[in-house]
Amino acid sequence: MTPTKIRIGVHAPVTGAAPFPESTFEKSKDLYWKYLAETGGVHGRNVEVVFRDDEFDPTKAVQGCRDMVEKEKVFALIGVAGADQITACARYAETRGVPYFSAGVNEDGLSDLNSYFALSQTYSQQSDTLVSLIKNTMHVTNIAVVVASNAALNEANKNFIYAATQAGLHIVRASRVAKTASDAELLAEANQLKNSGAQAVYLLMAPVNFIKLATNAQAQAYSPTWLGPGITNGFQIVAQAGCPSIGSAKFLSPFPQLDAIDELDPNYRNAYTRYIGGPADDIGILQWGLAKSLHQVLLATGPDLSRQSLLATLTSGQTFKSNVFPDVRYDGRIRFGASRMHLLEADCATRSWKTARRFVSRADF
């Protein structure tokens, strides 16, 4: 960091089992900061973004984060998606005292860190909202739970099953599938879900596996409502690839879709057109939202910026509002400071996700 520049490190899986379209990601990784630079930056400083592809691999993620901290001298780190990679990098960042931000993922492995902050609800925090949706809006009782077998998701899996059981839902199948599940495994899983008679399936897995599972299920004439917490399953590319198999899938999301962004933040589309060109996309919204949330924190910290002052501002108990990501509020103990999410619903007629509800919580269903 210099008097005129703040360097931020970002990592995301652009290759591997949960790939983002790379060029789209590259184009929009610093879109918000470019837009902000024209309005004077953050207290006179402009933000520069450096990026590493973590390949959906925690080891690669730590390598990338170490590189960004030690060589690129970044001020803070942002993890875009991928529970294992975010956990691994956040734990590394803690050892170096580097502030680390991500959309909410797991809590295990992150709750004891001082420098980690979730900018949206964790998977576990989303459980109650999803259970209310299933029970009170969808009026479904028989559900299945399918979660990737990475250890980082154990607590989210346990938490959802507990919340569902407490709410009186009947879990007819609960299974874990490999992070890199094979064709046979997903074919068999689809068949077992069909045999279980589940009307809705809670999913927590990489988009590639979700699409394959839904496709295999549809081939077996089985079309439950797929739903879950998330970040990446709500990407347009999942609807483009997964429709019609994913039907009217519903996923919570930290960011709204293209149908809602103009009302929530009219600057996004204009900035996209101006700095990137072509039609705006939803991956840009995710990055715009992450950056805008961080911007609110930087603004509140003031011109006398240091890692210590940033952490002090974050834990001061004030609320940070971006109107793209949900509002967040942290204190000395709470690092998972969001209480609402957007609800996305697949619209296979247009092969896209629609923002069915904005900033919802359990009480809204």
Partner 1 sequence: MRKGLVTSIALAAVAVGALLVEGPRGRQSLVIGLVAGSGYGLVALGLVLVYKSSGVFNFAQGEFGTIAVFALWGAHSVGVPYGLAMIAGLVAALASGLATERFVVRPLRDAPRVTLLVATAGVSLLAIGVEIWLGEARLRFVAPALGRFDRVSVFGFRVSDQRLLVIGTLALLAVLVALFFSRTNLGLGILAQSENPTAAELMGISAQRLSMYTWAAAAVLGGLGGILTAPLANGFGPGFVTLSTLIPAFTAAVLGGMTSLPGAFVGGIVVGVAESVTTSYPVFTDHFPGSRSVVIFVLLVAVLTLRPEGLLAPRATSGQGAL
> Contact residues for partner 1 (CB under 8 A)?
14-15, 17, 19-24, 53, 149, 174-178, 180, 182-185, 187-189, 191-192, 195, 208, 211-212, 215, 219-221, 237, 240-242, 245
47 strand-pairing partners: 6
For partner 1, give the closer residue by CB, 140 or 174.
Answer: 174
Least spacing, CB of residue 228 vs partner 1, in Å: 18
| Residue recorded with tokens 């247009």 | 350
Helix, coil or strand: residue 337: coil
Residues near 333 by Cβ (< 8 Å), separated by ≥ 6?
Answer: none
Least spacing, CB of residue 256 vs partner 1, in Å: 22
Nearest to 85 by CA among 153, 164, 167: 153
Least spacing, CB of residue 19 vs partner 1, in Å: 5
For partner 1, give the closer residue by CB, 177 or 360.
Answer: 177
Q: Strand 116-118 relative to strand 100-102: parallel, antiparallel, unpaired?
A: parallel
For partner 1, give the closer residue by CB, 115 or 245.
Answer: 245
Token digits of residue 164: 């569902």
Q: Rounded to whole angstroms, how far apart are CA atoms 148 and 157?
A: 9
For partner 1, give the closer residue by CB, 237 or 314.
Answer: 237
Token digits of residue 246: 């994913």
For partner 1, give the closer residue by CB, 24 or 85.
Answer: 24
Q: How far is CA 1 from CA 46, 66, 89, 96, 119, in A?
A: 10, 17, 20, 16, 22
Least spacing, CB of residue 241 vs partner 1, in Å: 5
For partner 1, give the closer residue by CB, 211 or 286.
Answer: 211
Residues near 139 by Cβ (< 8 Å), separated by ≥ 6?
Answer: none
For partner 1, give the closer residue by CB, 178 or 299.
Answer: 178
Nearest to 216 by CA among 188, 247, 197: 188
Helix, coil or strand: residue 59: helix
Say if CB 360 and CB 343 are below 8 A apart. yes
Q: Rounded to whole angstroms, how far apart are CA atoms 72 and 240?
A: 36
Nearest to 21 by CA among 47, 49, 66, 53: 53
Least spacing, CB of residue 23 vs partner 1, in Å: 5
For partner 1, give the closer residue by CB, 137 or 192.
Answer: 192
| Residue recorded with tokens 């005292």 | 97
Least spacing, CB of residue 301 vs partner 1, in Å: 35
Least spacing, CB of residue 222 vs partner 1, in Å: 10
Least spacing, CB of residue 143 vs partner 1, in Å: 16
Least spacing, CB of residue 346 vs partner 1, in Å: 15
Say if CB 18 and CB 205 are below 8 A apart. no
For partner 1, give the closer residue by CB, 59 or 182.
Answer: 182
357 strand-pairing partners: 343
